[in-house]
Amino acid sequence: MKVRTIIAMVAAIILVAATAGMTASIDHSQFVKGPFKNGEDVTKVCLQCHDKQADDVMNSPHYKWKGAPRTVKGLENSKEEYGKANLLNNFCTDVEGGSRAFCVKCHAGYGWTENDKLPKDKSKVDCLVCHAKDGNYKKGLGGEVDKQLLDKGKINLEKAAQSVGIPNRDNCGACHFFGGGGDAVKHGDLDSTLSKPKREHDVHMGGMDMTCQACHVTKNHKISGASTFLATNDGRVSCEDCHRDPHKDSQVHKTLLRHQKTVACQTCHIPFFARGQATKMNWDWSTVGRDIQDIEEQYGKEVYAKHKGTFVWGKNVVPAYAWYTGKTERYLKGEKIKDPKQVVYLSKPVGDIKDSNSKIYPFKIHTGKQPMDSQYKYLSIFQNFGGLWSHYNWDKALADGAKASGLPFSGKYEFVSTAFYGSINHEVAPKEQALKCKDCHMEGKRLDWQALGYKGDPMRVGGRFENGITVAEQTSKPVKKTASKK
């Protein structure tokens, strides 16, 4: 069948589906025929009908791994883009140090290898990672299809291409469940147990079987959502998008309405995170290279790996709480550390009790130790994959990382303590498990009121609005100014 005829048939089906208001995926098995040698061959077939969609993907943060830093305080008007491509963290730390071939196993494209620029060829867009439902599709080094599995016949690209449809949780989870180098490492509220969770684990994904894009609304392959892990967003997601007045039938409706001005929904409705499996809470890179025997596990997870260092895990963790406006302070590449003896915050929420736009949100604080250049006083970028993970030589890993990233290495280094605030938005518990008044107030120990800026429990000393701590309550009506008497 000629390509032109195939395109016409697909276009006709799409038109009928749109007219009928259908949302189900179109069966591609009659249009897509193999065999295919690699992922790019599949994409070339996709481009016959989806050329514009490829353009959309290549202009998205999922492909560029960066975007306008809308969520970073002080960079709102920056012309430079920021994201995973050029920001540091305290998990695998950085992709610019010559380790990109490993990191791009979670990239929505092919061929973004060590020091090459991001591919501009549309055939380098990976359609299957987000849309394949079958064929055992899996990515490998360099972002290509896993070559070992492909050579062994364990990946069927034709079957994968014919199975494409609207992304499900496993498509998104292939990267987001395994962020930071492994299952449940980076995110405290996202891991592989959310593939098929029960209601008790997450009321949206378990109780209602919702897909990710049910909340993270997508347009032109730009996916809404923002967090302290990101520097950019293509639209924000909030609980209030669906839950306009969630407590209207409650006997304490007015009390809860007052709380909503100060307390985020997540704070009460996600009382614990890492409820499906343990998440990594600390990563100490300073212990790399040691030969440690008889290593014990924590929650079934390794606590030491010679090429990565020492780990601490947590399960059913009580979140840390902080004021948050939706903006973050971010450590930037090459930024000088004023006091290496103090904790270096790579990501920290912006907010304050005196800011009426701030609310109390829950977070996972991931702590660690990572190298700092002793002369230049900035966090060093090192090569892990193909470097430190193989030879355990910090001097070589730091020198190679400096060469790849363009950030000089003086030859001297030391380890500093770092911390990274991670947003907690998933694993929403059933309403009967939400926090009660006694968990935070009176004898409750859930919140540290003084650390949040209160003189004491606001049930005793009064809230921030009643005491006039903030400028005004968050209402849509303008605040009337009263002229002072002379």
Helix (H, G, I), strand (E, B) or coil at 417: strand
pLDDT for 15:
37
pLDDT at 182: 94
Q: What is the C-alpha to C-alpha distance for residues 299 and 306, in angstroms, rounded to an integer?
A: 19
Span 234-261, pLDDT tens digits: 999 999 999 999 999 999 999 999 999 9
Could you list the pLDDT tens digit for every one of the 486 residues in the chain? Answer: 444 444 444 444 343 333 333 345 789 988 899 899 999 999 999 999 999 999 999 999 999 999 999 999 999 999 999 999 999 999 999 999 988 999 999 999 999 987 678 999 999 999 999 999 999 999 999 999 999 999 999 999 999 999 999 999 999 999 999 999 899 999 999 999 999 999 999 999 999 999 999 999 999 999 999 999 999 999 999 999 999 999 999 999 999 999 999 999 999 999 999 999 999 999 999 999 999 988 889 999 999 999 999 999 999 999 999 999 999 999 999 999 999 999 999 999 999 999 999 999 999 999 999 999 999 999 999 999 999 999 999 999 999 999 999 999 999 999 999 999 999 999 999 999 999 999 999 989 999 999 999 999 999 999 998 766 654 333 334 434 333 333
Say what the pLDDT of residue 16 is: 36
Largest interatomic CA distance in the chain: 89
Q: What is each CA distance from 94 to 99, 257, 347, 388, 484, in whole angstroms?
A: 8, 42, 14, 13, 56
Classify residue 139 by its DSSP letter: B
- Identify the residue whose tokens are 């270096």: 344
Query: What is the three-state SS of 339-385?
Result: CCCCCEEEEEECCCCCCCCCEEEEEEEEEEEEEEECCCCCECCCCHH
Q: What is the pTM of this model?
A: 0.90
Is the preceding omega at residue 35 within 30 degrees of 0, hence cis? Answer: yes
The pLDDT value given to residue 467 = 64
CB atoms within 10 A of CB 84: 20
pLDDT at 136: 96
Q: In this structure, what are the phi and psi dihedrals at residue 326, rounded to the nearest 5 degrees? A: 105, -5
- 3-state secondary structure (DSSP) of residue 63: helix
* Distance, CA of 285 to CA of 368 (rounded, Å): 7
pLDDT at 20: 34
Q: What are the sequence ranges of the domains in the chain?
A: 186-433
Q: SS3 of 125, please? A: strand
* Residue 29 pLDDT: 87
Helix axes 3-19, 39-58, angle to 10 degrees: 50
pLDDT, residue 293, reads 86
Sign for the pseudo-dihedral over CA of 267, 268, 272, 276: negative
Alpha helices for 153-296 (secondary structure H): 157-162, 169-176, 253-260, 265-269
Q: Alpha helix (H) ranges present in 163-286?
A: 169-176, 253-260, 265-269
Give the whole-angstrom CA distance, residue 289 versus residue 308: 8
Spatial separation of the C-alpha atoms in residues 86 and 88, rounded to whole Å: 7
Query: C-alpha distances in angstroms, 300 versus 272, 288, 294, 303, 441?
Result: 19, 21, 14, 9, 35
C-alpha dist (Å) from residue 337 to 69, 118, 371, 402: 21, 30, 12, 18
